[in-house]
Amino acid sequence: MSRLFSALALGPLTLPNRIVIAPMCQYSASDGHAGSWHAMHYGQLAQSGAGLLIVEATAVQPAGRISWADVGLWDEACADAWQPVLAGIRQWSTMPLGIQLAHAGRKASCHRPWDGGAQLAAGDARGWTTLAPSALPFASEDLPPQAMDEAAIDQLIADFAAAAQRAQALGFELIEIHAAHGYLLHQFLSPLSNTRSDRWGGSLDNRMALLLAVFDAVKAAVAPSMAVGVRISATDWVEGGWDLAQSIALARVLDARGCHFIHVSSGGLDGRQQIPVGPGYQLPLAQAIKAEVEMPVIAVGLITEPTHAEAVVATGQADAVGIARGILYNPRWPWHAAAALGVKVPVSPQYRRCEPLAQRGLFA
């Protein structure tokens, strides 16, 4: 019996298996609107046999986009653009669908990664002034961000809630709040980027306050049938920054507040980070958090082999595994994993003629 291919409840949402397609920005939107790339990309991922597809970081404000080409959900026009993408997927797939809601904070207003990824120069008409807890740039060559005042913080919380409602109306079944990778909510958590002395900075409780306010507002904005969880960077990998002990404290508070899952990544806040990259390099972080909470934990980061993914969940290091680059490279990764583990996954009838050859081991 494969544990990877057993069901998992994330609060009200039951996944058919424990393979999670991690959110991946596509930088292919126009004015925040999803389009034909998203229909093609998510359409084929929805045929992969994974247990959950989490759509990329989707900005709750125009200023929350990493690049000018990011998708958004800040108004009804953005929602209208997502609608045919979702309808197309739903016509052909029952895969649970989630969306990551995000604000990039000081790491916004950038070129697309394949254009270098640097921040747009002052005066570039596609750019904007970025927001942050404190007026500290991410990279020394970046323009200083604007420290958010109370009105900006109130607006941010309201915009996360409104985007969550739009996601629900579109038929998404899960919301992942992006508090990882050095983006705005992570910037508030880390003492390296948050030097505020008001109620949103200083003590650990104060630095966690914005994420918790966003979490509470999102939960209150959606039906109880919507799964709501959080993605964190469990450490900045920099001395004096956000670390595992603080992440465990945060995870406990989220757990007590009814968070349905936590997705454990790391890094992205500070260029001085020293990340010990290797197979499963973030697993010890997920495992340490799992030991302290009731809610399911999703591990992610260079989990590429089916037998490794199976071992991660079978030994209880995490409840589910996130796969990102591996499924870009091989969008049928879950089919291969199922074959390797002696399990059958549902295959759409249009694709079933490959099955006899797969059973003869021709595609191993």
Ligand X SMILES: Cc1cc2nc3c(=O)[nH]c(=O)nc-3n(C[C@H](O)[C@H](O)[C@H](O)COP(=O)(O)O)c2cc1C
**Count of chain residues binding ligand X (CB under 6 A):** 19
Query: Residue 353: helix, strand or coil by DSSP?
Result: helix
When the beta carbons of 275 and 347 are compared against ligand X, the nearer one is 275
* x-marked contacts with ligand X along 145-174 as a string, rule CB under 6 A: ------------------------------
Of these residues, 27, 42, 183, 329, which one is catalytic? Answer: 183
Which of 240, 325, 344, 357 binds ligand X (CB under 6 A)? It is 325
When the beta carbons of 6 and 304 are compared against ligand X, the nearer one is 304
Q: Are 286 and 317 in contact (CB under 8 A)?
A: yes
Query: Mind spelling out the 3-state secondary structure of 103-172?
Result: CCHHHCCECCHHHCCCECCCCCCCCCCCEECCCCCCCCCCCCCEECCHHHHHHHHHHHHHHHHHHHHHCC
Q: Which of residues 181-210 bind ligand X (CB under 6 A)?
A: 181
Q: Are 7 and 53 in contact (CB under 8 A)?
A: no
Helices (H) and strands (E) in the chain, counts: 11, 12
**Shortest CB 301 distance to ligand X, Å:** 5
**Shortest CB 350 distance to ligand X, Å:** 27
123: exposed, middle or buried (C-beta count within 10 Å: 0-12, 13-18, 19+)? exposed
Query: Residue 178: helix, strand or coil by DSSP?
Result: strand
**Shortest CB 69 distance to ligand X, Å:** 12
Which of 324, 337, 338, 345 binds ligand X (CB under 6 A)? It is 324
Q: Which residues, in sequence order, are CB contacts of 235 under 8 Å at separation 6+?
A: 241, 242, 243, 244, 247, 266, 267, 285
Q: How far apart are the first and last CA of the chain?
A: 20
Which of 166, 178, 186, 332 binds ligand X (CB under 6 A)? It is 178
DSSP state of 183: S
Annotation says 183 is catalytic: yes
Stretch that binds ligand X, among 189-197, 239-247, 318-326, 340-348 (CB under 6 A): 318-326
Helix axes 244-256, 283-290, angle to 10 degrees: 40
* x-marked contacts with ligand X along 261-300 as a string, rule CB under 6 A: ----x----------------------------------x
48 binds ligand X (CB under 6 A): no
Amino acid at 234: A
When the beta carbons of 201 and 290 are compared against ligand X, the nearer one is 290
302 binds ligand X (CB under 6 A): yes
When the beta carbons of 23 and 241 are compared against ligand X, the nearer one is 23
When the beta carbons of 54 and 339 are compared against ligand X, the nearer one is 54
* x-marked contacts with ligand X along 96-125 as a string, rule CB under 6 A: ----x-------------------------
57 binds ligand X (CB under 6 A): yes
Q: Are 199 and 209 in contact (CB under 8 A)?
A: yes
**Shortest CB 138 distance to ligand X, Å:** 16
**Shortest CB 265 distance to ligand X, Å:** 5
Question: Phi and psi (nearest 5°) for 195?
Answer: -115, 25
User: Up-side HSE of residue 138: CA atoms within 13 Å toward CB?
Assistant: 26
Tokens linked to 67: 């690049």
Instruction: Give the residue from 181, 159, 55, 216 showing the smallest Cα distance to 106.
Output: 181
Stretch that binds ligand X, among 22-30, 139-147, 197-205, 291-299 (CB under 6 A): 22-30
When the beta carbons of 155 and 304 are compared against ligand X, the nearer one is 304
Residues forming the site for ligand X (CB under 6 A): 22-25, 56-57, 100, 178, 180-181, 231, 265, 300-302, 323-326
Active site residue ranges: 183
